[in-house]
Amino acid sequence: MSTDAVLRELLSRQLDAWLPAALHRSRRATLVVAGADADTPEAAVRAVAAAGGLRGRRLTVLVLADQADDLPTRLGAAEATLPAEATVHLVPGDHTRLPVALKAAGAAGAPVLAVLDAHRATPAADVLASVAAGRPGELLLTARTPVRDTLAARFPLVAEVEWVPSDATEPRIVAFATGSDRGLDAFKTALWTVARSTGALLRDPADPHADPVTTTVDPDPAPLAEALTAELTRSGPRTVTELRRHALTATVYRSADVLPALTGLLDAGTVRRDPPDGRLGGDVLITLDPAGATPTA
């Protein structure tokens, strides 16, 4: 699956999570698609039309792209399927035009989701700042090289995964930046679903020598257990909620994978929990037990 096709699939799934939440929070919101092929913005507009739920709200879709001969026609046909509450604006150029486009669209103070294919160049600081200024602002990005540090300068939560295609084409970085744990969890869930359906593997860009992860429905908990043990060793006791966030931001895994990994660590005596009984809820404190056994698969 090409990078553009991956971006289209992730965008469609991310919209399912983002659009209802954005329009519940605010009466207006802005979706930006920049740098992708002509199929991606058309797919975004049709996904918005299929989602519905715009009554009494206003959605602006900004498409930043070099104008291929048929792009205005294709976008026009897709826009015709939208309700009156949604409008589409085609802006010539790449993501460097995004700050100006967002300002012209009156996007300030309302939810913004920007979807960028940045394989030519990492977005500059002013581009990231313009997205982060949304309330809230979220960014879905594909790139050739790691972008975590760049995104973390503007966004509280960043997940970055190396997408390893099944057809041996060049791996790409897929990243998501947000201020919402729920938004980040939705991204990771979508990423795993798309990877599983295409046979792609996922790898941590910070550890290029690590084995890629196969995105099965029930992944082996041992690698994540090792990562959680390392985090507890480094930072001391953490709540389950904090360990879920660590899995989302610092590993390829989803928050749903944390409980099986912690259960294995508890069974092995590698960690302790406080309180010692009851549901393994978000406020349960997990502490590394220096005398505990080494976790096993």
Amino acid at 57: R
The strand pair at 285-288 and 238-239 is best described as antiparallel
Above 60 in pLDDT, residue 294? no
- Tokens representing 254 are 């989803």
pLDDT of residue 70: 81
Confidence at residue 66, expressed as pLDDT on a 0 to 100 scale: 75
pLDDT for 235: 96
**pLDDT at position 268 over 50:** yes
pLDDT for the residue numbered 296? 44
Distance of CA 267 to the CA centre of its chain: 32
Asked whether residue 287 carries a pLDDT value surpassing 80, the answer given is: yes
> Can you say how many angstroms the Cα of residue 49 is from the centroid of all Cα atoms in its chain?
22
Domain map of the chain by residue range? 3-213, 218-288
How would residue 297 be classed by pLDDT, with cut points 50, 70 and 90? very low
Q: Does CATH place domain 218-288 in 1.10.10.10?
A: yes
Nearest by Cα to 243 from 252, 229, 176: 229
Encoded tokens for 12: 């469609």
Lowest mean pLDDT among 10-14, 37-41, 100-104, 235-239: 37-41
Q: Which residues, other chains included, contact 285 with Cβ-Cβ below 8 Å and sequence gap of 6+? A: 237, 238, 239, 273, 274
pLDDT greater at residue 124 or residue 169 = 124
Arithmetic mean of pLDDT, 1-25: 87
Q: Which H or E run includes 177?
A: strand 172-178
Q: pTM of the predicted model, to two decimals?
A: 0.92
Tokens 């700050």 label which residue? Answer: 99
Q: Work out the end-to-end distance of the chain between its first and last CA atoms, rounded to an integer number of angstroms.
A: 31
pLDDT tier at 5, thresholds 50, 70, 90: confident
What is d(CA 99, CA 95) in angstroms, rounded to the nearest whole number?
8
Question: Where does the pLDDT of residue 52 fall: very low under 50, low under 70, confident under 90, or very high at 90 and above?
Answer: confident
Minimal CA–CA distance to 159: which of 62, 284, 14? Answer: 14
Half-sphere exposure of residue 56: CA atoms within 13 angstroms, side-chain side: 5
What pLDDT shows up at residue 295?
46
Please state which of the four CATH numbers 3.40.630, 1.10.260, 3.30.70, 3.40.50 is assigned to the domain occupying 3-213.
3.40.50
> Which two tokens mark 233?
């060793």
Half-sphere exposure of 72 (CA within 13 A, CB side): 5
Average pLDDT over residues 208-225: 92
Secondary structure element (H or E) that encloses residue 233, with its range: helix 222-235
Can you name the residues that pair with 164 across neighbouring β-strands? 201
Q: Residue 7: which of 116, 110, 100 has the closest Cα?
A: 116
Averaged over 104-113, what is the pLDDT? 94
Average pLDDT over residues 230-247: 97
Peptide bond into 275 cis (omega under 30): yes
